[in-house]
């Protein structure tokens, strides 16, 4: 279940990898009442995929990934509410570009550092973004959020409906494109370099890899994907709140990825599904204590399954086959 | 012979502690040169400064006459400076082939490509396998590095460095911690390396040093004590005193 490139890796898509897509299509027809939740899950999978690219594959630790997600969300929202750009694909392209610019600008500075310093700098960046969004009330709506975001029908045909049908399909297509690009990247020589940097930075320096520039490159790509996910959230909700920025969404995303399994590609799929469904279920059962349930789940995973839920699957499969995981 | 690597009055200090003091050193093309000295003499620090792993506090490192003092490690590697590490610095969970291929891909300028799968670059795989075959590691190509005996892991270190086709190869204690049989194997491998590569070896195994090196530099407390042929070094009283701990004329 671990997807890691390299010069001896088989890049062909295994039949099991089609299962999530098949499941999504089945869900579209079988549980139409949950399509809004489904769209939200798809957006968070894309967001988690962007985090997995830098954390799981390149080893860049961050608590500030929501900066790109939030920027993408606000740019799409501002375009739809104030500028008059309502085409969803154009909104998304501009939002992704804005996130990419923030990614390269901040990455060029913070990726010169490592460890705790890096972690704190990423947190500082998203905190600054949060404060800007909070104070610039005329543009962002501040604490009240940005409402009145106008999003035109996709391709002029498919209007975003109350039941989330268009949103679900739209998000599914965007996620598929994101997944395909990330998967391709992981199996490329660039992807092999990233895992090399994660595993042994000293060695990568010693083979002549421009480690810093590779990290800045992947950080920017990841920021672009996160910005796209943010734009999707705005377009499907037609509203942006401050909760897309700051520590909380970054931490939440990290928890999702840890639950699913870091550096496994499909951990980014499993984590948000488990987290958001658990959140939905627990919030209905115990509205005041739902975080407790998520906390217990996280503690159990961290203590007993360091590879996340997919790590457990790996262990079971290895046990059955009598192999080393 | 022309000089491929040169340092001029190279210094390194950590606060008040001087670990390299005015080191003048020259490595000729195709040389087989050893750097010896007691523990703490500054040998690895010197190599780290040559490769850019540690910035020198002052003065210069010249590679083929060009000043590389301010260049990054990767830029120095691209100019032909390869190294191995005193302690294995490998991708332990990757295959031997994948370890070597990462270096080969970097040298060929393929490692930054994002589109085609890495495994579709047959030339990288073929070159890596050929290299492993020359070091007697062909049968281990698909093995994870962590599953190899330590002696073979040391050979993988050398294989990665050779995959960079260096003009200068710095070997930091290649036989450290390996059984004598494996040390002999490493010596054999070193003996088969292309003659045009200048090799600087740091080693505590004096038998290996004296069999391999044509010239030896002795470093003591960050300073060059002397340089000469193996027989000159073996005959020098100061070397015996400070390095071997013997009083020849007691």
pLDDT in the model for residue B189: 87
Mutant choice from A59, A189, A325 vs B, greatest count of B C-beta within 10 A? A189
Taking the Cβ of residue A200 and every Cβ of chain B, the question of whether any pair is shorter than 8 Å is answered with: yes
Is the residue at A112 inside a domain?
Answer: yes
Q: Please report the ipTM that was assigned to this predicted complex.
A: 0.88
CB A126 within 8 A of CB A245: yes
- Quick check: A66 pLDDT over 90? yes
φ, ψ for residue B132, nearest 5 deg:
-65, -35
Is the residue at B131 inside a domain?
Answer: no
The residue ranges of DSSP E strands in chain B, in sequence order, are 3-14, 17-28, 32-36, 58-63, 66-67, 81-83, 168-172, 198-202, 215-220, 223-228
What is the dihedral sign for C-alpha A138, A144, A145, A149?
negative
Is the residue at B106 inside a domain?
Answer: no
Interval A94-114 mean pLDDT:
97
Separation of alpha carbons B106 and A189, rounded Å: 9
pLDDT in tens, B99-155: 999 999 999 999 999 999 999 999 999 999 999 999 989 999 999 999 999 989 999
Pairwise CB contact (< 8 Å): A193 & B106: yes
Separation of alpha carbons A305 and A312, rounded Å: 6
Is the residue at A158 inside a domain?
Answer: yes
Q: What band does A324 get if pLDDT is binned at 50, 70 and 90?
A: low
Chain B residue with minimal CA distance to A207?
B103
Q: What band does A323 get if pLDDT is binned at 50, 70 and 90?
A: low
pLDDT in the model for residue B250: 38
What b-and-e string marks burial along B158-172, b requiring 16 or more CB atoms within 10 Å of the CB? bbbbbbbbbbbbbbb
Separation of alpha carbons A169 and A298, rounded Å: 30
Pairwise CB contact (< 8 Å): B128 & A184: no
Is the residue at B231 inside a domain?
Answer: yes
Higher pLDDT, B70 or A109: A109
pLDDT in the model for residue B1: 65
pLDDT in tens, B68-97: 988 999 999 999 999 999 888 999 999 999
Mutant choice from A8, A206, A222, A225 vs B, greatest count of B C-beta within 10 A? A206
Chain B residue with minimal CA distance to A198?
B91
Interface A:B, Cβ pairs < 8 A: 131
Interval A79-101 mean pLDDT:
97
Is the residue at A317 inside a domain?
Answer: no
Taking the Cβ of residue A193 and every Cβ of chain B, the question of whether any pair is shorter than 8 Å is answered with: yes
Interval B163-168 mean pLDDT:
94
The angle subtended at Cα B233 by Cα B50 and Cα B196, nearest 5°, is 45
Is the residue at A137 inside a domain?
Answer: yes
Percentages helix, strand, coil for chain B (3-state, rounded to 5) are 40, 25, 35
Taking the Cβ of residue A189 and every Cβ of chain B, the question of whether any pair is shorter than 8 Å is answered with: yes
Measure in Å the smallest separation between the Cα of A262 and chain B Cα atoms: 16
Is the residue at B136 inside a domain?
Answer: no
Please, which residues have CB within 8 angstroms of residue A158's CB and are 6 or more apart in sequence? Answer: A166, A169, A170
Chain B residue with minimal CA distance to A181?
B115
Q: How many folded domains does chain B comprise?
A: 1
Write out the residue range of the structural domain in which residue B33 sits: 3-90+164-244
Question: What is the reported pTM?
Answer: 0.90
pLDDT in the model for residue B221: 87
pLDDT in the model for residue A294: 86
Q: What band does B249 get if pLDDT is binned at 50, 70 and 90?
A: very low
- Strand arrangement of the beta sheet that strand B32-36 belongs to: B81-83, B168-172, B198-202, B32-36, B215-220, B223-228
**Of residues B94, B103, B142, nearest to A207 (C-beta):** B103
Q: How many other CB atoms are found less than 10 A from the CB of residue A109? A: 11
Q: How many other CB atoms are found less than 10 A from the CB of residue A155? A: 9
Interval A21-49 mean pLDDT:
95
pLDDT in the model for residue B217: 93
Q: How many folded domains does chain A comprise?
A: 1
pLDDT in the model for residue A178: 97
pLDDT in the model for residue A2: 64
Task: Say which CATH number the domain at B187 has.
Answer: 3.40.50.300
Instruction: Please choose, from the candidates A28, A32, A10, the residue with its C-alpha nearest in 3D space to the C-alpha of residue A20.
Output: A28
Write out the residue range of the structural domain in which residue A61 sits: 15-244
pLDDT in tens, A298-321: 898 888 888 899 989 888 888 887
Query: Could you give the 3-state DSSP secondary structure of residue A142?
Result: helix
pLDDT in tens, A230-250: 999 999 999 999 999 999 999
pLDDT in the model for residue B248: 46
Interval A133-150 mean pLDDT:
95
Measure in Å the smallest separation between the Cα of A119 and chain B Cα atoms: 24
φ, ψ for residue B66, nearest 5 deg:
-95, 140
Interval A138-154 mean pLDDT:
95
Q: Are strands B168-172 and B81-83 parallel, antiparallel or unpaired?
A: parallel
Per CB-CB distance under 8 Å, the chain B contacts of A10 are 119
pLDDT in the model for residue B41: 86
Per CB-CB distance under 8 Å, the chain B contacts of A207 are 77, 102-103, 106-107, 160, 163-164
**Of residues A185, A188, A192, nearest to B102 (C-beta):** A192
Taking the Cβ of residue A208 and every Cβ of chain B, the question of whether any pair is shorter than 8 Å is answered with: yes
Q: At what angle do helices A247-260 and A267-285 cross, to 10 degrees?
A: 110
Is the residue at B132 inside a domain?
Answer: no
**Of residues B73, B114, B118, nearest to A6 (C-beta):** B118
Q: What percent of chain B has pLDDT over 70?
A: 96
DSSP A206-219: HTT--HHHHHHHHH
């Amino acid at each position: 279940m671990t997807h890691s490139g390299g010069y001896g890796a088989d890049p062909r898509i295994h039949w099991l990898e089609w299962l999530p897509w098949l499941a999504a299509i089945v869900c579209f027809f079988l549980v139409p009442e949950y399509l809004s939740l489904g769209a939200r899950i798809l957006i968070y999978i894309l967001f988690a995929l962007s985090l997995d690219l830098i954390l799981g594959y390149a080893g860049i630790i961050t608590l500030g990934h929501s900066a790109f997600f939030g920027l993408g969300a606000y740019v799409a929202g501002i375009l739809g509410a104030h500028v008059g750009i309502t085409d969803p694909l154009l909104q998304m392209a501009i939002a992704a570009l804005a996130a990419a610019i923030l990614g390269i600008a901040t990455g060029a500075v913070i990726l010169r550092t490592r460890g705790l310093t890096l972690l704190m700098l990423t947190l500082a960046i998203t905190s600054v973004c949060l404060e800007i969004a909070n104070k610039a009330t005329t543009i962002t709506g501040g604490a009240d959020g940005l409402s009145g975001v106008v999003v035109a029908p996709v391709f002029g045909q498919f209007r975003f409906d109350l039941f989330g049908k268009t949103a679900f399909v739209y998000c599914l297509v965007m996620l598929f494109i994101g997944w395909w690009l990330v998967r391709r990247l992981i199996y490329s020589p660039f992807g092999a370099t990233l895992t090399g940097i994660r595993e042994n930075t000293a060695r990568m320096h010693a083979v002549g890899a421009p480690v810093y520039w590779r990290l800045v490159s992947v950080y920017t790509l990841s920021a672009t994907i996160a910005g796209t996910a943010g734009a999707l959230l705005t377009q499907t909700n037609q509203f942006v709140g401050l909760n897309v920025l700051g520590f909380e969404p970054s931490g939440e995303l990290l928890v999702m990825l840890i639950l699913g399994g870091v550096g496994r590609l499909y951990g980014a799929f499993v984590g948000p599904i488990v987290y958001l469904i658990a959140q939905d279920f627990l919030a209905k059962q115990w509205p005041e204590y739902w975080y407790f349930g998520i906390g217990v789940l996280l503690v159990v995973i961290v203590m007993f399954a360091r590879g996340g839920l997919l790590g457990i699957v790996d262990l079971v499969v290895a046990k059955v086959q009598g192999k080393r995981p | 012979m022309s000089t491929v690597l040169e340092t001029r009055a190279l210094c390194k200090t950590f606060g008040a502690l001087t670990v390299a003091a005015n080191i003048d050193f020259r490595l000729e093309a195709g040389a087989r040169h050893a750097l010896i000295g007691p523990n703490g003499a500054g040998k690895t620090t010197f190599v780290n400064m040559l490769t850019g792993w540690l910035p020198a506090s002052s003065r210069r490192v010249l590679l083929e006459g060009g000043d590389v003092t301010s260049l990054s490690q990767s830029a120095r590697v691209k100019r032909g400076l390869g190294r191995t590490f005193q302690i294995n610095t490998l991708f332990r969970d990757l295959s031997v082939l994948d370890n070597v291929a990462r270096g080969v891909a970097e040298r060929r300028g393929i490692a930054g490509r994002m589109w085609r799968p890495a495994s579709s670059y047959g030339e990288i795989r073929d070159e890596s396998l050929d290299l492993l075959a020359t070091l007697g590691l062909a049968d281990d190509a698909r093995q994870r590095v962590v599953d190899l005996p330590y002696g073979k892991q040391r050979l993988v270190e050398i294989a990665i460095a050779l995959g960079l086709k260096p003009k200068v190869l710095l070997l930091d204690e290649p036989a450290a911690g390996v059984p004598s049989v494996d040390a002999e194997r490493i010596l054999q491998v070193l003996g088969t390396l292309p003659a045009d590569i200048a090799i600087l070896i740091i080693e505590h195994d004096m038998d290996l040093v004296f069999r391999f090196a044509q010239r030896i530099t002795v470093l003591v407390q960050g300073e060059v004590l002397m340089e000469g042929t193996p027989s000159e070094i073996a005959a020098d009283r100061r070397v015996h005193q400070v390095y071997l701990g013997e009083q020849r004329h007691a």
